[in-house]
Amino acid sequence: ETGVTQTPRHLVMGMTNKKSLKCEQHLGHNAMYWYKQSAKKPLELMFVYSLEERVENNSVPSRFSPECPNSSHLFLHLHTLQPEDSALYLCASSQDHQGTKTQYFGPGTRLLVL
Amino acid sequence: AQSVAQPEDQVNVAEGNPLTVKCTYSVSGNPYLFWYVQYPNRGLQFLLKYITGDNLVKGSYGFEAEFNKSQTSFHLKKPSALVSDSALYFCAVRAPNNFNKFYFGSGTKLNVKP
């Protein structure tokens, strides 16, 4: 349960604010992910990092900016968001980004954009 | 085209009865298939996965799933449901030719009543 942590757990921000979401994994994994979970929609994979290099960007708007300073930490920088960006943002990690590896998820950050 | 379908938004079952949560997929080749469970205000927890080998996969908490290639299905099952199994269940598929594409279904809410 504590293998992947996310802070903050809840965030309310205005459309002109700048904020950052933080994810930390304590599992010794080399791959990290950001997902967006909106109500009644499938999870959307946003970004994939492998050994601190971004390997996937699924057409995510530029108002979301990821950063992976090392294999244990992943950030999602937010600026000029829209109300439709309100969602649960989940971080995950896996041993590597190969298809057979299980992803382990953090508890998520519940984001509300006003 | 949607790569993973969970046709039921909600499944209701009485405690002690068997349960099935359905999942079908549409990716080419031999997919990697996963089931995750999400409890309220928590991140996703891994239940089981199919990579290769025996079509019947056993996972955590007494759950199992059967890979059926001809029907492109990976239904989640449990012989005897518990009230504590009530949660949101997600099926996911990873394309074997592109590990960075990881698709989740929209989720099925399982309600187990005493």
Chain A residues touching residue B107 (CB < 8 angstroms): 40, 42
DSSP lists the bridge partners of residue A110 as: A10, A88
Residues in Cβ contact with B98 at an 8 Å cutoff, skipping those fewer than 6 apart = none
Residue A83, SS3? Answer: helix
Chain B residues touching residue A48 (CB < 8 angstroms): 100
pLDDT < 50 regions, chain A: none
The pLDDT assigned to B76 comes to 98
Torsion of CA B10, B13, B18, B24, to 10 degrees: -10
Task: Please spell the DSSP secondary structure of A87-100, one letter per residue.
Answer: EEEEEEEESSSSTT
Element spanning A12, H or E: strand A10-13
Cα distance between residue A58 and residue A72, in whole Å:
22
Taking the Cβ of residue B45 and every Cβ of chain A, the question of whether any pair is shorter than 8 Å is answered with yes
Chain B residues touching residue A99 (CB < 8 angstroms): 32, 94-96, 99
Instruction: Find tokens 């942590």 and name the residue.
Output: A5
Chain A residues touching residue B32 (CB < 8 angstroms): 99-100
Taking the Cβ of residue B56 and every Cβ of chain A, the question of whether any pair is shorter than 8 Å is answered with no
Candidate from B45, B51, B104 with C-beta closest to A43: B104
Instruction: Find tokens 């950050």 and name the residue.
Output: A109
DSSP lists the bridge partners of residue A46 as: none
Among B49, B54, B51, CA closest to B35: B49
In tens, the pLDDT along A25-54 reads 999 999 999 999 998 788 888 999 988 888
Ordered per-residue pLDDT tens for chain B, 114 residues: 558 999 999 999 999 999 999 999 988 778 899 999 999 878 899 999 999 889 999 998 999 999 999 999 999 999 999 999 999 999 999 877 666 677 899 999 999 999
- Cβ separation of B100 and A107 shorter than 8 Å? no
Cα distance between residue A51 and residue B62, in whole Å:
35
8-state DSSP, B62: G
- Angle CA B101–A92–B42, to nearest 5: 120
B34 CB burial (10 A radius; 0-12, 13-18, 19+): buried
Residues, chain B: 114
Taking the Cβ of residue A5 and every Cβ of chain B, the question of whether any pair is shorter than 8 Å is answered with no
Taking the Cβ of residue B88 and every Cβ of chain A, the question of whether any pair is shorter than 8 Å is answered with no
A69 CB neighbour count, 10 Å cutoff: 9
